[in-house]
């Protein structure tokens, strides 16, 4: 059985020319491996937080099983569950190509939802990684204090180097 792909680490990418961002090297490597060698980044809106999630194509292989488990859990708790709505959330991701340097153009959809700004903070979360506008992350509760501190440190490190690369 193949080892599952996991994302860990943190990075910050300022917005570049033409609305491009850079997928950090550590994430880029796993996305490419997870996408069968193609440079295809999958981006979707997080179902609970005001951020995006990123992953490679192989992550989608578990979506049907995930929906079944969530439905079983809802039935046990006597809660409503709309499998079609959940499938639309999971499968509604955008496939975004990136170049050898990791540069990609943020899809208009996510810019329209105000999920991309002057820079993006990438934070590993195991099966996927979160992609935050720093101000959105800063508005989160104390459970995100480590991510907030990391984001600030990443931004300060870039500012100390003189801004954009």
pLDDT digits 0-9 by tens, 34-53: 999 999 999 999 999 999 99
Sketch out the chain's domains with CATH numbers: 10-59+91-160 (3.40.1550.20)
Strands 94-97 and 103-105: unpaired
Q: What is the pLDDT of residue 52?
A: 97
Tokens representing 28 are 């880029």
Tens digits of residue pLDDT in 98-131: 999 999 999 999 999 999 989 999 999 999 999 9
Mean pLDDT score of the chain: 92
Handedness of CA 105, 107, 108, 110 (dihedral sign): negative
Strands 103-105 and 40-45: unpaired
Strands 94-97 and 40-45: antiparallel
Alpha-helix residue ranges (DSSP H) falling in the chain: 25-34, 63-76, 83-91, 108-112, 134-138, 145-160
Q: What is the pLDDT of residue 165?
A: 46
Tens digits of residue pLDDT in 1-26: 456 789 999 999 999 888 799 999 98
């Amino acid at each position: 059985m193949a080892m599952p792909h996991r994302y860990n680490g943190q990075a910050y990418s300022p917005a570049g020319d033409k609305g491009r961002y850079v997928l950090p090297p550590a994430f880029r490597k796993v996305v490419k491996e997870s996408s069968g060698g193609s440079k295809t980044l999958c981006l979707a809106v997080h179902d609970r937080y005001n951020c995006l999630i990123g992953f490679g194509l192989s992550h989608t292989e578990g979506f049907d099983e995930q929906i079944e488990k969530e439905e079983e859990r809802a039935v046990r708790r006597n809660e409503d569950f709309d499998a079609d709505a959940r499938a639309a959330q999971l499968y509604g991701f955008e496939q975004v190509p990136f170049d050898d340097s990791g540069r990609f153009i943020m899809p208009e959809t996510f810019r329209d939802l105000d999920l991309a700004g002057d820079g993006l903070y990438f934070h590993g979360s195991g099966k996927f990684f979160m992609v935050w506008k720093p101000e959105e992350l800063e508005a989160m509760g104390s459970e995100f204090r480590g991510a907030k501190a990391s984001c600030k440190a990443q931004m300060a490190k870039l500012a100390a180097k003189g801004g954009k690369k």
